[in-house]
Each structure stands twice: as structure tokens, then as C-alpha cells.
Amino acid sequence: MSLIVDGLTKSYSKHVQALKHVSFSVSERESIGIVGESGSGKSTLAKILLGLETYKEGSITFNGEPIAPKKRALLRQYRKNVQMIFQDSTSTLNPKLPIWRSVLEPLDNYKEVTPSFIEVEGKSRKEVAVQLLEMVGLTSEMADRYPWELSGGQKQRVSIARALSIEPSLLVCDEPTASLDVTVQMLILNLLKDFKETFNMSIIFISHDIRAVAFLCEKIIVLKDGSIVDEFRIEDIYDNDRHPYTKALIRAASIE
């Protein structure tokens, strides 16, 4: 897996420049954290990476191939490899579907994929879904429920199971724990950390919380007003030459 983002620039209007020449790369098994305050451009970046938002300048290269909206076959392959978890799983789970059907959506879209970690042979679709739910610590009893019958943390686990079902090589998480209370946040972060190791997956983890990012990621990128102002490895987080804005984020996190 290799992702190269080069000079990405995005404006929503003359006055709103959400991203300014953003460049970074993610390699195999690497986890990159992107932190910044509200409005710094984090979700815009996530949406562009997933092909859900257009951009004016710059390029995205995945495994050596430039990703452009018009190359449909390539885009399909890319979307299989790059999965996403959003802050609000309520909006991404179809309210009309029982949980087990939602979990299977990616596998239904990519019928050619047989995940290595799941026994599909002789299993019904629902049994496959239950295996996925169990993988994220949920029970078979959840399978027939509807999204509104689950807690926020449980829904986020369903989103994780769904995203991992087709063994993506890169998982993009946009504030996946922001709407959860602190103990549930930790459980979800631990789950992601485990899966990162198990699946040899690369992660882009977006958060305003530098502590959450530091827990999961080896490298941190700091976004401010659409620009990268700092980039460092986690062991250098307390270095004196960190950008003043990074230091402010660390201070804010430690007194919260």
C-alpha cells in the first residue's frame, strides 16, 4: 500500500480555502494522525481521499496509479482498498436495514472478495455477518436489530466491522470516537489498534484530540487553516522545535 497526496488544494468559494497545498504520504502498515481544530480542513481532506469531494489542484496517487474521478474501474478498485469510518455512524447505517445486512454491504458490492479471516464455505450470508460482528466484540443477538436499537459505541463497532469486512489496505477514520464517552472511546481506539496489527493495515486517523492520535499513530500531521504547519514522528511530540500551534494543542489536551 502506498498513498501519495501532493499539493492538494481545495476551495469551496473565493473566501473559503479549505486546503492549501497539502502533501503527505502513507506507506504500508503506517498509521498517520491528522490533527487540527474545527474548520482546519480535516473532513474536507477525508472526503477528497474517498472521492466524495472534488478538488482543484494537486494529485492523489495510490499504489503508483493517479486516482482521477473519471477512471471508473480504477476508482472501484481504489474504493475497495480504502475504507472509511465517520464520526456519526447513524448517518452511514441504513435505518431500514437490520444490522447484519448493513455489515454485509461492502461484501455485497465486491462479490469477488473473500476475506481471509472469515470462513465463508458452507456459511449463510447471515452467519458471515455474525462472524464480522463477533470480531468487533458484538454478539449475534445484535444481528437482527436496527441501528436505532444500538448505542453510539455499538454502532461505531458495526461501522468498523463493515469497513474491515473486505480487508482494506487503508482505513480512513474521521473523528470516529468524537461522539462517544471517554471509556467507550478507549475501547474503540484499542479495537482499531488491534486490527491495525492483525490486518497489516495502514490508517489515516483524523481527530481534534491529539491524545487519541498519539495513542494510535506513528506519525502526526498538524493542519491549521488548511495548511500543514507541523509533521513529526510520535517520539518527537515533546521536542522543543514543535510548532507553537502543536504545543498549544498538547497543552489544551492535557488540561481538558
Ligand X SMILES: Nc1ncnc2c1ncn2[C@@H]1O[C@H](COP(=O)(O)OP(=O)(O)OP(=O)(O)O)[C@@H](O)[C@H]1O
Residues that bind ligand X (CB under 6 A): 12, 16, 18, 36, 38-44, 208
Closer residue to Mg ion, CB minimum distance, 43 or 131: 43
Q: Which does 154 bind (CB under 5 to 8 A by kind): Mg ion, ligand X, none?
A: none
Closer residue to Mg ion, CB minimum distance, 34 or 158: 34
Could you please report the per-residue DSSP string of 143-180? TT--GGGS-HHHHHHHHHHHHHTT--SEEEEESTTTTS
- Cα–Cα distance for residue pair 228/20, rounded to 1 Å: 8
SS3 content of the chain, % helix, strand, coil (to 5): 40, 25, 35
207 binds Mg ion (CB under 5 A): no
Q: How far is the CB of 105 from ligand X (least distance, A)?
A: 25
Closer residue to ligand X, CB minimum distance, 88 or 218: 88
43 binds Mg ion (CB under 5 A): yes
Closer residue to ligand X, CB minimum distance, 42 or 157: 42
169 binds Mg ion (CB under 5 A): no
With 0-12 CB in 10 A as exposed, 13-18 as middle and 19+ as buried, what is 31? Answer: buried
Closer residue to ligand X, CB minimum distance, 2 or 179: 179
Amino acid at 149: E
Q: What are phi and psi of 9, to 5 degrees?
A: -130, 135
Q: How far is the CB of 225 from ligand X (least distance, A)?
A: 8
Q: How far is the CB of 255 from Mg ion (least distance, A)?
A: 23
Q: How far is the CB of 45 from ligand X (least distance, A)?
A: 7
44 binds Mg ion (CB under 5 A): no
- Cα–Cα distance for residue pair 170/183, rounded to 1 Å: 26
Q: How far is the CB of 159 from ligand X (least distance, A)?
A: 17
Q: Which does 38 bind (CB under 5 to 8 A by kind): ligand X, Mg ion, none?
A: ligand X
Sequence-ordered list of residues with C-beta below 8 angstroms from that of 255, at least 6 positions apart, any chain: none
- Cα–Cα distance for residue pair 208/174, rounded to 1 Å: 10
Closer residue to Mg ion, CB minimum distance, 43 or 83: 43
With 0-12 CB in 10 A as exposed, 13-18 as middle and 19+ as buried, what is 99? Answer: buried
Q: Which does 40 bind (CB under 5 to 8 A by kind): Mg ion, ligand X, none?
A: ligand X
Binding-site ranges for Mg ion (CB under 5 A) = 42-43
